[in-house]
Structure 1
């Protein structure tokens, strides 16, 4: 599967092709692991396309993603491709939502998420990280507050620091997160 997938994503993808490849990968043994591996491809465009497919796998087949939660989580902090980070951030934001599947919640309860929180804070304060990724970071950190109570205070302070440095879209997201955290 990995070699065929690599061949398929060497060229520009349309949304329908991404959906098709996500369908295929979600139904084949170890294909999701292969997609995760391809997100780290040295060619940034290939890594981005693989991450786009990975996001679609989780969105459309979250239960098929469950066996690979540890593999994804263990590699989250290693993702340096900014285009792939956007998809990684969205996936983690979805994984940490209150309405995530119970199997995902069970995994996150038992998994040491400290490195995910630390990486997310690092991405949030990195000047080179685009606002779309930072938006996902805000969601992730707010979602981790129940498991890591110290995150709330740190997140509030970080948002205060960043709110004047970032775009108006970031400000709108901060407003939403403050409401989620029930702060002013």
Structure 2
């Protein structure tokens, strides 16, 4: 499957089963995951979103295929400005952290700073904020200040946040206590 074929597939409206099928093709047809990662920055936000969704499915279903892309993904993580793509990027990052896939000598500031920025930005969608809380909780041991700053940010967000922010906020605050 060429990059053009992949782009054509992503121009179509996707449902979960089709996103999974396209991720399965990464294994069968061997399209370039670098091309897929690049398409998560496509100027058409719908294509970027679909590419990020497929990338998340590849990471979930074929982690061994995603592993060679890890460094590129981590380097591009802070550059992602598409809110819809950020949702999938944060889900991927959370999964990578949970599975200890990131090298201990990695410069974690590269992902901590943008994750805090996304959490604090008023226009960031709730799902992205919730994922950011979970990511930062997993990163709390990487620097002394993270837990305190995360606690303060969650408490601030919970003052006006909806049900999802309240729920995730309470969960993370109880884990921080």
Match of 1:42 in 2: 43
Q: Give 4+ residue runs of structure 1 displaced > 6 Å after superposition.
A: none
Match of 1:72 in 2: 73
Match of 2:171 in 1: 176
TM-score (norm 2): 0.94
Structure-2 separation of matches of 1:109 and 1:29:
30
Q: Aligned with 1:108: secondary structure?
A: coil
Are the equivalent residues in 2 in contact too, given 1:27–1:64 (CA < 8 A)? no
Structure-1 separation of matches of 2:27 and 2:42:
20
Structure-1 separation of matches of 2:157 and 2:163:
11
Q: Aligned with 1:163: secondary structure?
A: helix
State yes or no: 1:110 paired with 2:110: no
Q: How does 1:25-104 map to 2 (within 5 A)?
A: 25-26=26-27, 31-97=32-98, 100=99, 104=101
Q: How many residues align?
A: 176
Give per-residue Cα distances to partners, 1:70-108, cap 9 Å, x unaligned.
Answer: 1000000111111111100111111111xx1x5x1xx33
TM-score (norm 1): 0.90
Structure 2 unaligned segments of length 5 or more: list them. Answer: none
Structure 1 unaligned segments of length 5 or more: list them. Answer: none
